[in-house]
Amino acid sequence: MKLFNVKKVDEVRKILDDVFSDACSKYELIPIEKSLGRVVYEDLYSPIDLPEFSRAVVDGYAVLSDDTHGAGESMPVFLNVIGRVDMGKAATESVKSSTAIYVPTGAMIPPGADAVVMIEYVENLDENTIAVYTPVAPGHGIIKKGDDIKKGHKLLSKGKRIRARDIGVLSALGIEFIKVYEKIKVSVISTGDEIVYPFGEVSFGQIRDINTNLLSAMAEESGADVSLKLLVKDDFDRLKEAINKALQVSDIIVLSGGSSVGAKDMTAKAIESLEDGKIFVHGVAVKPGKPTIIGKVENKAIFGLPGHPSSAMIIYKLFVDYLIRKYYSMNEDIIYVEALCSENIHSEPGKETYQPVELIEKDGTYEAVPIYGKSAAISKIAKSIGYIKIAENKEGIKKGEKVRVALF
Amino acid sequence: MKLFNVKKVDEVRKILDDVFSDACSKYELIPIEKSLGRVVYEDLYSPIDLPEFSRAVVDGYAVLSDDTHGAGESMPVFLNVIGRVDMGKAATESVKSSTAIYVPTGAMIPPGADAVVMIEYVENLDENTIAVYTPVAPGHGIIKKGDDIKKGHKLLSKGKRIRARDIGVLSALGIEFIKVYEKIKVSVISTGDEIVYPFGEVSFGQIRDINTNLLSAMAEESGADVSLKLLVKDDFDRLKEAINKALQVSDIIVLSGGSSVGAKDMTAKAIESLEDGKIFVHGVAVKPGKPTIIGKVENKAIFGLPGHPSSAMIIYKLFVDYLIRKYYSMNEDIIYVEALCSENIHSEPGKETYQPVELIEKDGTYEAVPIYGKSAAISKIAKSIGYIKIAENKEGIKKGEKVRVALF
């Protein structure tokens, strides 16, 4: 095994950027009604002006604004009502000087008219005549064609995750289908002689497999599809076989190691033994998660995560989730929650520390409570809603200090 | 139509609590591997102790702590090595006085032993003898049976949405299936003479339907299934027919009105014309969203939302999402994002104001930028990431004031 320098998070991410710069950019065209949560494949522009025609935004009379010039409470202007526009119908008749056409809110503005006088300022004198008691400026009471969204306006950027409101916007513009990224396919492989299928009876000494289901669910949360889940013993040939199987069906392979001595080396050796297999990262300067491996086979990324679930979760978030987001061209739009730290937190200088925390709400502010416990502890995972990062040059965090919590 | 008092948000929620206190509590039993995002149906307790057996947390020798008493760098204690425990295997042999058994990290502690001496403090003299250079206290190097999670400990509360880490915890405990709430079934009906199917060519004067797809996607985000989507004209009989259809297949019906005069009354009348149909809320003291209707037929909730998409979104969040969460027994675990307001916001006294905002990150803090524009404007919806609430007795918000943003 070659010796690698232990790397910092930013260095590792830079390597991921470089090594996997042009992988995974397949798209599919799907109905917008099925697109919630999917990621936009290319910038999307409005194909039309919105509104598609000038509309009334009040109930009133479409007029020529010039005709209302000088109108006032004591000196109305009289106009001849020549018709009405019904909701949802095209306005065919034109408004000419001294005439008006009734328009309800949302109706199309008839040709010729450049303003709408609200009914509140109008008196109906007879069936065909109104008195207008206020002057209106051009454009009053109207939303003009294209005022809301112009044809060609950028609606969605490549890499954006589609939310409900986006689907609303696309509907408004008549966009029925959208190009989204094909889902990244992830295989999850757990290794360890002591690790067994989690359900049913297990023998003394055996440990139920956590990481396969944990990391698979995390991959789903990242917007990936899990194509294969495997559990293998710490055996070189079986591990190599498992990786080969996973390579057939996935873009990313996430291994997590047992804690037995030498298991980590086995992962690295298995990757290097494959044709075109390379290791880029062997060890990261992160607490927890030092024994992290990142490699590549056939342009597919292979991650070797620590075996302890709580460390695996953090390394997953720092690198695997990062790569999936990169494949999807997603910007770093993680929403942080601001909180006050509930107690002093120590950190190891020279290492970035990622401390899992609980969030407790108190009178409208959040308190971040660090979760301690051995890194294998499941109770720790159960409570951790997110983590805070302590920079390598910072000596811990003081009680009451403001921190930013990244959610798991 | 009866006259109703315009109600405040809390009053409306109180009514929802009372009227729909015991509806919708069906569950299904599903594999935990398929449970991401689903809602826990009943409190769940650990069926086992974790770990299920006492385990070594270091590589070393399982010993009787008493034997190491007095050991030191210059005065080792000599022990007879009588075996080793392999990872994943049961420990069968017992440790007795003056003996030791090798245990790797994670291995089962052999009967008799009450501590593990790390290999760093041990010298191997020959195949069967070690010198121990440090004393160890009882429990040292061991995680005891049940130390992580005790049998009977509450793992998940009723009403919790299942996250990846929960699936990890359930795996660790051998829990293969979990009771989750059956998904609430929502029907979405949009009304309006001018509203047409959103895709393809539309005529002048017609408006593409936004609310059906917008509110359906929001219902999905709330964790509901959309069972029916309908678009109907402002016609009493057709509306009644649509509601009747929706009643067959859904727990909640979400109507949203066209903006034509009288459309709102029609919704109320249609509800009241149905057998057992009742209206509980007719108008809420919320800006925007005053013309909100809430009724009930056959124990199913019917909401009449404003026709303007941006108002409909807010009213959906305030009441429909609230009711879905209530049905799922979810606690108010909305995560707010703290931000500084980018400019003064005015509000109408006597009304709670819900102001949509954009969030802009600047040097690690968020700025909340209010989104203005006519409430029908789609560009406004596209930008709104969430909203801030201005209490009815508060006269707006000042530039630079700290606000909490609830995300859409």
CB B221 within 8 A of CB A164: yes
Looking at CA atoms only, how far is residue B116 from chain A in angstroms?
Answer: 16
Do A95 and A124 share a domain, yes or no? yes
Q: Which of B165, B209, B214 sits opposite A313 (nearest CB)?
A: B165
Q: Per the CB < 8 Å rule, is B200 touching A337?
A: no
- CA distances (Å), B304 to each of A169, A297, B263, B294, in order? 21, 56, 10, 6
Residues A284 and A377 in one domain: no
* Residues A407, B212: C-beta atoms closer than 8 Å: no
Q: A276 to chain B nearest CA, in Å?
A: 33
Q: Give me the phi and psi of A230, to 5 degrees please.
A: -135, 150
Regarding whether B22 and B61 lie in a shared domain, the answer is no
**Is residue B2 domain-resident?**
no
ipTM attached to this prediction: 0.88
> A293 near A304, Cβ under 8 Å?
yes
| CATH code (residue B341) | 2.40.340.10
Contacts of B379 in chain A (CB under 8 A): 50, 148-149
- Residues contacting B204, CB < 8 A, separation 6+: A52, A53, A90, A91, A108
Counts for chain B of helices (H) and strands (E), in that order: 9, 26
Q: Are residues B213 and A381, on separate chains, in Cβ contact within 8 Å? A: no
Residues B240 and B314 in one domain: yes
Give B278→chain A minimum CA distance, Å.
Answer: 29
**Alpha-carbon distances, residue B23 vs B19, B38, B296, B318, B325 (angstroms):** 9, 18, 12, 19, 12
H helices of A282-339, in order, are 309-315, 321-327
- Whether residues A335 and B168 touch (CB distance < 8 A) is answered with no
| Disruptive mutation site among A193, A311, A378 for chain B (greatest number of B CBs within 10 Å) | A378
Give me the sign of the Cα torsion angle B111, B114, B119, B123.
negative
CB neighbourhood size of B123 (10 A): 12
* A386 vs A202: CA distance, rounded Å: 31
Tell me which chain B residues have a C-beta less than 8 angstroms from the C-beta of A377. Answer: 143, 148
Residue B143 CA to residue B53 CA, distance in Å, equals 9
Helix residue ranges per DSSP H, B195-331: 211-221, 236-249, 263-273, 309-315, 321-327
Cβ–Cβ below 8 Å for B149 and A210 = no
Give me the number of domains chain B comprises. Answer: 4
Q: Which residue on chain B is closest to A85 by alpha carbon?
A: B205
If asked whether residues B249 and B388 sit together in one domain, one would say: no
Return the number of CB contacts < 8 Å for A and B: 261
For residue B11, pLDDT beyond 60? yes
- Residue A136 in any domain: the answer is yes
Please tell me whether residues A241 and A322 are part of one structural domain. Answer: yes
CA distance A377 to A360: 21
Locate A206 and state its tokens: 């055996």
Paired residues of B115 in beta bridges? B63
Among A18-27, B188-197, B391-400, where is mean pLDDT lowest? Answer: A18-27
Q: Is residue B295 part of a domain?
A: yes
The answer to whether residue B2 scores a pLDDT higher than 50 is: no
Can you give the pLDDT at residue A215? 98
Torsion of CA A143, B406, B219, A149, to 10 degrees: 20
Amino acid at A276: D
C-alpha atoms less than 13 angstroms from C-alpha of B146 in its C-beta half-sphere: 7
Chain A residues whose beta carbon lies within 8 Å of the beta carbon of residue B104: 260-261
Token pair listed for B226: 């959309």
Question: Tokens 């790569």 map to which residue?
Answer: A323
pLDDT, tens digit (0-9, with 9 covering 90-100), for B302-348: 999 988 898 899 999 999 999 999 999 997 666 788 899 999 998 87
User: Which of B327, B361, B390 is the C-terminal boundary of a domain?
Assistant: B327
Rg (CA), chain A: 31
- B217 in a structural domain: yes
Say which residue, B223 or B298, is predicted with more confidence. Answer: B223
Q: Is A133 in the same domain as A241? A: no
pLDDT of residue B264: 60
Q: Which residues from A are below 8 Å from B167, CB to CB?
A: 213-214, 217
A222: closest CA of chain B, how far (Å): 10
At B298, which CATH number?
3.40.980.10
Set of chain B residues whose Cβ sits within 8 Å of the Cβ of A52 = 202, 204
Q: Say which amino acid occupies B145.
A: K
A335 → chain B, closest CA residue? B337
CATH number assigned to the domain comprising residue A104: 2.170.190.11
Which residues sit opposite B116 in a β-bridge? B62
For residue B36, the chain A residues in CB contact (below 8 A) are: 217, 220-221
Residue A3 lies in a domain: no
Q: Give the Å distances, CA to CA, from B327 to A2, B280, B408.
A: 57, 18, 20
**CA distance from start to end of chain A:** 33
Q: How far is B178 from chain A (nearest CA, A)?
A: 13
Same domain as A280, residue A204: yes
| Residue B188 lies inside a defined structural domain of this protein | yes
Tell me, yes or no, whether A380 and A390 share the same domain: yes
Q: What is the rounded distance in angstroms from the CA atom of residue B149 to the CA atom of residue B140?
A: 19
Q: Check B148 against A378: CB less than 8 A apart.
A: yes
Q: Is A248 exposed, middle or buried (0-12, 13-18, 19+ CB in 10 A)?
A: exposed
The answer to whether residues B16 and B114 belong to one domain is no
Q: Which site among A87, A190, A221 would you substitute to test the B interface, given the most B Cβ atoms closer than 10 Å to its Cβ?
A: A87
Residues of B in contact with A261 (CB under 8 A): 59, 104
In degrees, rounded to 5, the angle at the alpha carbon of residue A378 between the alpha carbons of residues B111 and A332 is: 150
Tell me the chain A residues in contact with residue B378 when contact means C-beta distances shorter than 8 Å: 50, 148-149, 168-169, 172-173
Asked if B50 lies within 8 A of A193 by C-beta distance, the reply is no
Q: Which of B168, B309, B381 sits opposite A210 (nearest CB)?
A: B168
pLDDT at A262: 63
Q: In chain A, which residues have their Cβ closer than 8 Å to the Cβ of B374?
A: 57, 143
Closest CA to B212 of B246, B187, B237: B187
Cα torsion B364, B368, B369, B373: sign: positive
Given a contact cutoff of 8 angstroms between Cβ atoms, the answer to whether A387 and A357 are in contact is yes
In order along its 408 residues, chain A shows pLDDT tens digits of: 444 567 889 999 999 999 998 766 799 999 999 999 999 999 999 999 999 999 998 999 999 999 999 999 999 999 999 999 988 889 989 999 999 999 998 899 999 999 999 999 999 999 899 999 999 999 999 999 999 999 999 999 999 999 999 999 999 999 999 999 999 999 999 998 888 999 999 988 898 999 999 999 999 999 999 999 999 998 899 999 999 999 999 999 999 985 445 666 788 889 999 989 999 998 888 888 778 899 999 889 999 998 889 889 999 999 999 999 999 999 766 678 889 999 999 887 778 899 999 998 887 788 999 988 765 678 888 888 899 999 888 888 999 999 999 888
3-state secondary structure of A389: strand
DSSP state at residue A258: -
Structure tokens given for A318: 């720092």
Q: Is B400 left (phi over 0), alpha (psi -120 to 50) or beta?
A: left
Nearest by CB to A148, from B32, B200, B378: name it: B378
Is A171 close to B335, i.e. CB distance below 8 A?
no
HSE-up of B352 (CA within 13 Å, CB side)? 19
Residue B376 in any domain: the answer is: yes
Q: Which two tokens stand for residue B386?
A: 């969430």
Which class for B16: exposed (0-12), middle (13-18), buried (19 or more C-beta within 10 A)? buried
Taking the CA atoms of residue A337, residue A339, residue A343 and residue A344 in that order, the dihedral angle to the nearest 10 degrees is 70
Please confirm whether the linkage preceding B198 is cis (ω < 30° from 0): no
* B35: exposed, middle or buried (Cβ count in 10 Å: 0-12, 13-18, 19+): buried
| Percent of chain B predicted with pLDDT > 90 | 69
Q: Is there a domain that residue B380 lies in? A: yes
Reduced to 3 states (helix: H, G, I; strand: E, B; else coil), residue A272 is helix
Same domain for B323 and B189, yes or no, is yes
pTM of the model: 0.88
Residues paired with B256 in a beta bridge: B190, B305
C-alpha closest to that of B260 among B285, B228, B232, B218:
B232
Distance from CA of B33 to the nearest CA of A (A): 7
The pLDDT tens digits of the residues spanning B79-101 come to 999 999 988 889 989 999 999 99
The whole domain housing B126 covers 55-143
Q: What b-and-e string marks burial along A363-373, b requiring 16 or more CB atoms within 10 Å of the CB?
A: eeebbbbbbeb
User: Which one of A199, A337, A338 has the shortest CB-CB distance to B176?
Assistant: A199
- The CATH number of the domain holding residue B42 is 3.90.105.10
Please report residues of A whose CB lies closer than 8 A to that of B311.
none
Residue B183: DSSP 8-state: P
Are A314 and A374 found together in one domain?
Answer: no
- B104, B194, B200 ranked by CB distance to A106: nearest: B194
Residue B319 host element (H or E) = none
